[in-house]
Amino acid sequence: DADVTQTPRNRITKTGKRIMLECSQTKGHDRMYWYRQDPGLGLRLIYYSFDVKDINKGEISDGYSVSRQAQAKFSLSLESAIPNQTALYFCATSDSQGGRTEAFFGQGTRLTVV
Amino acid sequence: QKEVEQDPGPLSVPEGAIVSLNCTYSNSAFQYFMWYRQYSRKGPELLMYTYSSGNKEDGRFTAQVDKSSKYISLFIRDSQPSDSATYLCAMSVSTGGFKTIFGAGTRLFVKA
């Protein structure tokens, strides 16, 4: 099983619908992130969380919200989806200890808003 | 101006060629420099990681950081078709993956 699991892997939704993307991890890391990836723009940070009680906005948080239900679970919601939110979404985790800076990514969720 | 600039390519080379991938950046506070490799329909995976300036070698891969020029490079020797992927540079000020800034990624195709 993957260390960082995202569900669903693919989703097509209509404009105005609410949608939730879920992420769970078995790495035991305290930090979790949501990124979106667009061609030519790379990975951009939407939200990040350092622990269950800590939620922070990233570079492009407008139109998104998150919930850290447990250390291992971090979900991303689009309250009212719009077509320019069509993108590839990645959840990632990292460890605050050990002096490393590596992020571990899930397989991604391809979201299409029509 | 973006904090990290990376040519998206695509870059197409024959098998066995030496590949050079590059990024420039504007934030002189960056201290940690990473290269991630992303295969199609997969999440990025860390390939190499360098702290501050200098070179780091791992098998066929060499990462170089020139902080004076704000320029980092990844060299791939004896490139293989299995190296075909998107390569993303990434940089951060601190450890733990906090506020890592990613480049746009360069798509590399190695032809057999």
Q: What is the pLDDT of residues A97-109, one digit of tens each?
A: 655 678 899 999 9
- Distance (Å) from the C-alpha of residue A23 to the closest C-alpha of chain B? 13
The mean per-residue pLDDT over the stretch B60-78 comes to 96
| Beta-carbon separation of B99 and A45 below 8 A | yes
> Scanning every residue of chain A, which has its alpha carbon at the shortest distance from the alpha carbon of B7?
A40
- Distance (Å) from the C-alpha of residue B6 to the closest C-alpha of chain A? 9
Select from A96, A103, A107 the Cβ nearest to the Cβ of B100: A103
User: B35: closest CA among A95, A103, A85?
Assistant: A103
pLDDT attached to residue B23: 97
pLDDT at B94 over 90: no
pLDDT at B103 over 70: yes
Residues A59, A90: Cα–Cα separation, whole Å: 15
Which letter does DSSP use for residue B59 in this model?
T
% of chain A exceeding 90 in pLDDT: 81
pLDDT at A95 over 90: no
Which letter does DSSP use for residue B43 in this model?
-
Q: What is the pLDDT of residues B29-59, one digit of tens each?
A: 898 899 999 999 899 999 998 888 889 999 9
